[in-house]
């Protein structure tokens, strides 16, 4: 254990999976900064991590800064180790891995911050919806926890958008992340879900164990399946005739009333399906188009490369995409992701993935070692006005982990055996309590 730092065994067991990614000294720094990031209640700057771990008087601050800016460790490999850890602990063997992709802006200031620029910011209050900072493509794994009624997204990868480079395309970064996950999780089927911004020619040629589900654009050019070969000379046709627009298709297809469960509600909608080609995006690969007619008449169009999934499964799979919005909000509001003031290229590339990994490790620790059935009841006891609370929140998880950190810090590393007098006193106390 690091001098001046005591961590519970349940945490060190999770961190041990990352040991091959670092040298021995760098792994010690990694362990200390993870503890400091999760133990810090103030701003999670690099120096704030040292303070949170109680190491500010023991380590020079440049040791922490060098970990992000100069130490040799592969950020992508750390992310893939985290993904394998999540799958091995929370995704049952044989079940597909549900992956969700979205992008977000972590606001920064200063012209010397690497890759900082003006990007779309959906949370901006002005009408322009733009902000200055670093734009990140976040990739998360959706898991079902027995003590939660909603799907939970655990961020496992984050890729920086850098304008005027090969990393300028968010779709290209998302497709690269999907390929990396497919290689890191052999034998697993990976279902990727994303919004309409993540559809383009970069998706052609994805690994066979990767499916992609997204929202279909209104101007999408759909085609019939390629006709059978005629036996004549010349190249065979790669696609059939052009299909009508979505609005016209909705009038010709037959809708069936179906019950779906999404957003913690059971709803009845009308669904129509069509197998066709979206040639400009997926090439000759067959896709399934699902049109969902809502109760208010709104028609939602989805497209997926998963031809074995039922329309109900596709609708529910796309609805689970909202879990990444919750995870990103938690990252900014609860975990302080993006608060570090790094400016150099390597430090900027590493700090946000590191912070998101700490967020995932918190939920992973709570799901495997920290949860107790009485947690929600104990919270209601402390806050009697909050009687509707039935499940722990992310804030409850990180608060419990901090309490465990505090207990481990003040616990003697080698507690002595109780004396006979102490045992006798304890027995008398139990007898008095029982009487």
Neighbours of 417 (CB within 10 A): 6
Cβ proximity of 111 and 133 under 8 Å? no
> Taking a C-beta distance cutoff of 8 angstroms, is the pair 306, 287 a contact?
no
Residues, the chain, total?
Answer: 435
Q: Are 30 and 101 in contact (CB under 8 A)?
A: no
Which residue in 283, 393, 281, 284 sits closest to 334, CA to CA?
393
Burial 351-383 (b: 16+ CB within 10 A, else e): bbbbbbbbbbbbbbbbbeebbeeebbeebeeee
Task: Parse the chain into domains and list their residue ranges.
Answer: 9-74+360-407, 216-308
Q: Where are the alpha helices (DSSP H) in 306-344?
A: 311-319, 322-333
Query: The tokens of 353 are what?
Result: 């993935």
Q: Dihedral sign, CA of 360, 319, 193, 127?
A: negative
How many whole angstroms separate alpha carbon 435 and alpha carbon 433?
5
Within 54-205, residue ranges assigned H as helices are 61-69, 75-90, 170-184
Pair 75, 357: CB distance under 8 Å: no
Tokens (6 digits) for 341: 């003031």
Tally of CA atoms within 13 A in the half-sphere of 348 that contains its CB: 19
The angle at the Cα of 339, spanning 160 to 130, to the nearest 5 degrees, equals 60
Tens-binned pLDDT, residue by residue, of the chain (435 aa) = 455 577 888 999 999 999 999 999 999 999 999 999 999 988 999 999 999 988 888 899 999 999 999 999 999 999 999 999 999 999 999 999 999 999 999 999 888 999 999 998 888 778 888 999 999 999 999 999 999 989 999 999 999 999 999 889 999 999 999 999 999 999 999 999 999 999 999 998 899 999 999 999 988 999 999 988 877 887 888 899 999 998 899 889 999 999 999 988 899 999 999 999 999 999 999 999 999 998 777 889 999 999 999 999 999 999 999 999 999 999 999 999 999 999 999 999 999 999 999 999 999 999 999 998 888 888 788 888 887 888 899 999 999 999 888 887 766 455 455 566 656 665 665 555 455
Structure tokens at 264: 């913690």
263 sits in the region (left: phi over 0; alpha: psi -120 to 50; else beta) called: left
- Tell me how far apart the alpha carbons of residues 250 and 253 are, in angstroms, rounded to a whole number: 6
Q: HSE on the CB side for 280, CA within 13 Å?
A: 10
Q: Are 174 and 139 in contact (CB under 8 A)?
A: yes
pLDDT at 385: 82
Residue 361 CA to residue 147 CA, distance in Å, equals 17
């Amino acid at each position: 254990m690091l001098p001046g730092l005591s961590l519970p065994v349940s945490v060190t067991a999770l961190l041990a999976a990352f040991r091959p990614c670092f040298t021995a000294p760098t792994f010690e720094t990694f362990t200390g900064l993870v503890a400091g990031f999760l133990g810090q209640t103030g701003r999670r700057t690099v120096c704030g991590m040292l303070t949170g771990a109680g190491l500010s008087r023991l380590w020079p601050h440049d040791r922490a800064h060098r970990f992000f800016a100069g130490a040799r460790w592969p950020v992508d490999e750390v992310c893939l180790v985290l993904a394998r850890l999540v799958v091995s602990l929370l995704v049952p063997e044989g079940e597909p891995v549900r992956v969700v992709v979205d992008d977000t802006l972590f606001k920064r200031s200063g012209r010397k911050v690497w890759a900082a620029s003006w990007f779309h910011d959906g949370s901006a209050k002005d009408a322009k919806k733009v902000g200055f900072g670093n734009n990140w493509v976040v990739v998360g794994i959706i898991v079902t926890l027995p003590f939660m009624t909603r799907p939970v997204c655990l961020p496992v990868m984050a890729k920086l958008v850098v304008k005027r480079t090969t990393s300028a395309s968010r779709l290209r970064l998302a497709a690269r992340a999907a390929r990396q996950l497919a290689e890191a999780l052999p034998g697993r089927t990976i279902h990727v879900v994303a919004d309409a911004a993540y559809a383009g020619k970069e998706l052609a040629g994805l690994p066979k164990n990767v499916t992609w589900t997204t929202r279909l654009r209104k101007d999408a050019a759909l085609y019939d399946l390629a006709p059978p070969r005629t036996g004549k000379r010349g190249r065979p046709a790669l696609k059939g005739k052009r299909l009508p627009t979505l609005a016209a298709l909705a009038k010709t297809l037959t809708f069936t009333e179906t019950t779906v469960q999404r957003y913690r509600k059971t709803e009845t909608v009308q669904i129509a399906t069509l197998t066709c080609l979206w040639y400009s995006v997926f090439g000759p690969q067959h896709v399934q188009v699902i049109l969902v007619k809502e109760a208010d008449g709104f028609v939602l169009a989805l497209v997926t490369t998963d031809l074995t999934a039922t329309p109900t499964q596709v609708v529910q799979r796309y609805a689970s995409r909202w879990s990444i919005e919750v995870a990103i909000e938690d990252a900014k509001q609860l975990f302080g992701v993006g608060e570090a003031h790094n400016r150099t290229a390597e430090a900027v590339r590493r700090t946000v993935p590191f912070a998101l990994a700490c967020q995932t490790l918190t939920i992973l620790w709570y799901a495997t070692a920290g949860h107790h059935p009485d947690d929600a009841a104990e919270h209601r006891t402390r806050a009697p006005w909050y009687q509707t609370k039935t499940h722990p929140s992310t804030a409850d998880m990180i608060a419990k982990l901090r309490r465990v950190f505090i207990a481990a810090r003040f616990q003697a590393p080698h507690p002595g055996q109780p004396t006979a007098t102490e045992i006798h006193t304890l027995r008398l106390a139990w007898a008095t309590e029982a009487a």
